[in-house]
Chain A
Amino acid sequence: MIVATNSVHSPSAGRRPLSWGTPLTYALALAVAAVSIAPILYVIIGGFRTTPQIVDDPGGLPDPWVFDNYRRVLTQSKFWQQAFNSGVIALGTTLGVVVLGMAAAFVLARYAFRGREALYTFFTLGLLFPAGAAILPLYLMLRDLDLVNSYYAVILPQVAFQLPLTIVILRPFLSAIPRELEDAAAIDGAGRLGFLWRIALPLSRPALVTVGVLAFVASWNAFLLPLLVLGDVNLHTLPLGVQNFSSQFSTDTAGVLAFTSLAMLPALFFFTLAEKQIVGGLQGAVKG
């Protein structure tokens, strides 16, 4: 639909940079933005209504605005504990991915040795292993290792499945550091490890932030792995919490709306902070 509209209005505009687009451009852009955002706003605003209000008029605005739903979720549910669990697991995953990925990518980028490309290919093969397909044997293995119902049961596999993408993003970045810098470091008496610590690491900060943010968001949103390996409700993460709350209190529509929007807020907040890294990382992954 949008493609067709584009073709209709095209001859008139857009040949050269415009500071203000045509009204049609704005109309289309607004429509697209509305479709993206309206459902989210509906959930957030719906949390300020009561369930009878919602049943009477599903599309209406809060009248009056009630804060009870949000208050209830924040004081009577396991929201804070689940947010804490999500945070610990996401930070652990991020740390593991950044440290292990950086070390491996550094070797693959800055050392010349027999089998280097084979090792790189071996890591990139992991991009073909969908985490979803491995979930059952992964559960069995974690059970046999006695890791089920611990943070590690989520962190370790998440690190493992994030490593291939991380290495694919980091390696070209590290390769691009000029040889001269390494030679200069060597003349100053720094070994390769000194070069890694004092020069490569600070220089790769943007790339590290990118892979870190990608790992954090993936972990924060993860559902299937925690669903299987975290049977203990005290370890549940926010996505599990949202699902539990919505099935446990399915008649309390307003409460579910409030819980869902509270669970969304950290992601939205995080996204506005790290939008450049997320977008840049996805683009980098493609160019990788």
Chain B
Amino acid sequence: MTSTDRTRFPAGGVSAPPAGRRPAGRPSSRRAETRRKWYEIIGLTTPALVVYVMFVLVPMGFAVYYSLFRWRGVGPPTEYIGFKNYTLAFQDPIFLDALRNNAIIVFGSLLIQGPVALGIALLLNRRFRGRAVFRLLVFVPYVLAEVTVGIMWKLILAEDGTVDALLRSLGLGSLVQAWLADLDVVIWTLLFVLTWKYVGFAIILLLAGLSNVPHELTEAAAIDGASWWQTQRHVTLPLLGPTIRIWMFLSMIGSLQVFDVIWVTSVPAMRSLGASGTMATYMVDNGFFARLWGYGNAVAVILFAISFVAALLFQRFLLRRDIEGAITKGAN
């Protein structure tokens, strides 16, 4: 984990010149100075460390422990059943459906949002008057609460609602579906809603990446006779690689734990039939509302493990230096 530390700080972090040490005095005052420095370090980091350990790390540890019990949440867990909760989860077709739905959302988001966001970002990266307003507008859906977005689309997609009326008025009445109530359609409807909500995030990241592409390069390409599209394809896109990969990473992690939009948009029956549920909704339905706490915690651990492994694999094979050890070290 510390291999990159050494490259940055040759002797494991201690030989870097201490920032702001005052001119060295007598040895005893230097010792007092060192002691005071450590008081400051401990005093300033402890509050953050305590909150972070207590509310981020400790709960995951407890999840692993609880997941080994059959437990209704009353009193301490006593009925140890080993890994039975895990095997039960993988035998439950509803959970497997949830896994499939998560996979649809992860890959669907990448495959749809990626190209769409890239196209829009390239469009909004062109210089024209009013560009700033357009940039602002495409980002608005991302700022709204997931719940608001879910309720909003639930109303718009209601049976004989706005979307149906719009399609009929365009003569496309045959396309009308039970958008949120058809077992085979609902997950694709939800994928659309999620795309609408999150594509602005991808656009903003890509615009940030585009603003880092030096003008000299695109101008040089233009002078050499490259068309606008050739410039984008051969100069801009390759330089966007790191931004695209970081967006893919964030999108993937977000898609694995998607909950809010699914929860408020689709009716509970859709979830319990496996048509729209994800790992997170399955976990909350079973753990919290059905009070199968041991089982719910096992699902939590599975969800965490899948996210963790996906993140590590992504980091190992795609991200490499893009986020310079910000998430994991040792992969460089």
Contact = CB atoms under 8 A, between A and B. Distances in A.
A62 to B, nearest CB: 14
Contact of A137 (B16, B60, B257): B60
A133 B120 contact: no
B165 A10 contact: no
Interface in A169-185: 179, 182-183, 185
B14 A114 contact: yes
Interface size bracket, A side: 35 or more
Given A25-B123, A134-B60, A283 B166 contact: no
A167 B323 CA distance: 14
A65 interface: no
Contacts of A43: 152, 155-156
A59 B200 CA distance: 25
Contacts of B153: 39
B147 interface: yes
A85 interface: no
B40 A42 contact: no
A257 B161 CA distance: 13
A115 B13 contact: yes
A243 B147 contact: yes
Contact of A129 (B57, B130, B205, B284): B57
B72 to A, nearest CB: 12
Nearest to A22: B128
B56 A6 contact: no
Contacts of B205: 282-283, 286
A58 B160 contact: yes
Q: Is chain A's binding surface mostly helix, strand, loop or mixed?
A: helix
User: Top 6 nearest A-B pairs by Cβ distance?
Assistant: A21-B128, A132-B257, A160-B55, A2-B119, A10-B229, A221-B145
28 contacts: A3-B118, A14-B228, A19-B127, A28-B123, A36-B140, A42-B156, A46-B155, A58-B164, A59-B169, A101-B48, A103-B45, A111-B37, A113-B14, A113-B37, A114-B13, A126-B52, A130-B253, A133-B280, A134-B60, A135-B300, A138-B55, A163-B56, A224-B260, A228-B284, A242-B148, A275-B139, A278-B143, A288-B326
A26 interface: yes
A112 to B, nearest CB: 4
Interface in B130-159: 130-131, 134, 136-141, 143-148, 151-156, 158
A260 interface: yes
A288 B205 CA distance: 13
A198 B143 CA distance: 34
Interface string A167-209: 1100000000001001101100000110100000000000000
A223 to B, nearest CB: 5
Nearest to B163: A58
A182 B127 CA distance: 42
B145 A220 contact: yes
Contact of A179 (B19, B127, B140, B144): B19
B147 A239 contact: yes
B227 A127 contact: no
A108 to B, nearest CB: 8
B171 interface: no
A61 interface: no
Interface string A136-176: 11111100000000000000110111011001100000000
A118 B63 contact: no
Interface in A89-115: 96, 99-101, 103-104, 106-115
A107 B60 CA distance: 27
Given A130-B253, A140-B73, A33 B138 contact: yes
A111 B19 contact: yes
Contacts of A125: 328
Given A111-B41, A186-B20, A224-B259, A279 B204 contact: yes
Given A26-B128, A275-B139, A282-B201, 19 more contacts: A3-B115, A18-B128, A19-B127, A25-B126, A42-B156, A111-B41, A112-B18, A130-B304, A132-B303, A137-B62, A137-B63, A138-B59, A141-B58, A160-B54, A182-B20, A192-B40, A243-B147, A267-B148, A270-B143
